[in-house]
Amino acid sequence: MNVYPAANIRNVCLLGHSGDGKTSLAESLLFMTKATDRLGKVSDGNTVLDYDPEEIKRQISISLSVAPIEFEKNKINVIDTPGYFDFAGEVLQALRVADTAIIACTAKSGVGVGTEIAWKHVKKLTIPRAFYVSKLDEENADFYKTLDDLRDKFGISVCPVIIPIIADGKCTGVIDIISLKAYEMKNGASSETSVPDSMKAQVDDLRAKLAESVA
């Protein structure tokens, strides 16, 4: 078991409306960092974090769970929280120890009530935050509409740093706006690739907007 100094330990809290992909994100992080050797699914009732029989039966998170992962010589404690308002106490407990927060919302429904409540919590506590847009592969998903909704609701400080590469309705990779690098996903592993020619103008435009927002 590795021992980490305090400077190399981070607590990241996952927030958002129920069903917006928090547990699935945590499951993916566990799998991508090789903490697990399979990718569990909420619908199959085999995720690491929703282990309680009631959670498996109802396919929702009831209590907070912690997924410790290791990345670049750092230990990151990913804290998955329930989205249903009945379990708000679990969310407040997680926020007490969180260094930063990731607020999940979907590319289908955009900003929900849970999104707004999560924002209010982290803003009140002055916790650094980022948005994660899930369900990009589902029918009627629209990443850029969700991005516009987030900017309209929470201001121009909401800027994309990672955008999806969509091909035939599927997310096949991502582009890092800051480094101008693209990555594709195959068989659960990512590899660097070139930015699609069809997206270069869009990437340049988004990078300029990011610089304006920072300024």
Q: Which two tokens stand for residue 155?
A: 């201001």
170-176 sheet: strands from edge to edge: 162-167, 170-176, 181-186, 189-193
Q: Count H helices and E strands in the chain, helices first.
A: 6, 9
For the stretch 72-104, pLDDT in tens is 889 999 999 987 777 888 899 999 999 999 999
Q: What is the pLDDT of residues 121-151, one digit of tens each?
A: 999 999 999 999 999 988 889 999 999 999 9
Tens digit of pLDDT for each residue in 11-38?
Answer: 999 999 988 999 999 999 999 898 998 8
Residue 1, pLDDT > 70, answer: no
On the question of pLDDT at 54 being above 90, the answer is no
Residue with tokens 């396919």: 59
The span from the CA of 54 to the CA of 60, in Å, is: 8
How far is CA 184 from its chain centroid?
18
What is the model's pTM? 0.89
